[in-house]
Chain A
Amino acid sequence: MTPTGVVTGGWEYVIAAYVVSLVILVSYTASVVLRYRAEVRRAFRASRSPEVP
Chain B
Amino acid sequence: MADPSRPPPVPGPGAGFAFMGLGALLLAAGSYLGLFVAPRESYMGDVYRIMYAHVPTAWNTMLAFTFAFGAALAFLLTANFKWDARHEAAVEVGVVMAGLLCLQGSIWARPTWGVWWDWDPRLTTTAVMFFAFVGILALRRFVEDPARRATWSAVATIIAYADVPIVYYSVRWWNSLHQMQSSPETVSAVFVIPLRTNAFGVLFFMTGLITLRTRIASLRLRQEMAPPLPEPAPVLASGGAR
Contacts and interface: CB of A to CB of B under 8 A. Distances in A.
Nearest to A33: B212
Contacts of B100: 20-21, 24-25
Contact of B226 (A7, A8, A46): A46
A28 B103 CA distance: 15
A5 B42 CA distance: 10
A25 B28 CA distance: 13
Given A6-B42, A10-B46, A36-B215, A21 B111 contact: no
B35 A18 contact: yes
Interface of B, secondary structure class, is helix
Contact of A6 (B35, B45, B232): B45
B99 interface: yes
A18 B96 CA distance: 15
B191 to A, nearest CB: 15
B216 interface: yes
Interface in B96-112: 96, 99-100, 103-104, 107-108, 110-112
Contacts of A42: 219, 223
Interface stretch (B48-56, B128-136, B139-147): B48-56
Contacts of A17: 50, 53-54, 103-104, 107-108
A5 to B, nearest CB: 6
A7 B233 CA distance: 77
B222 interface: yes
Contacts, number: 90
Interface in B6-50: 10, 13, 20, 31, 35, 42-47, 49-50
Contacts of A25: 100, 205
Contact of B212 (A7, A9, A32, A52): A32
How many B residues touch the partner, as a band?
35 or more
Interface in B182-228: 205, 209, 212-213, 215-216, 219-220, 222-223, 226
B230 interface: yes
Contacts of A8: 45
Given A39-B216, A46-B226, A13 B43 contact: no
A35 B223 contact: no
Interface of B: 10, 13, 20, 31, 35, 42-47, 49-50, 53-54, 57, 96, 99-100, 103-104, 107-108, 110-112, 205, 209, 212-213, 215-216, 219-220, 222-223, 226, 229-230, 232-233
Interface of A: 5-11, 13-14, 16-18, 20-21, 24-25, 28-29, 32-33, 35-36, 39-40, 42-43, 46, 52-53
Closest 3 CB pairs of A and B: A10-B47, A39-B219, A17-B50
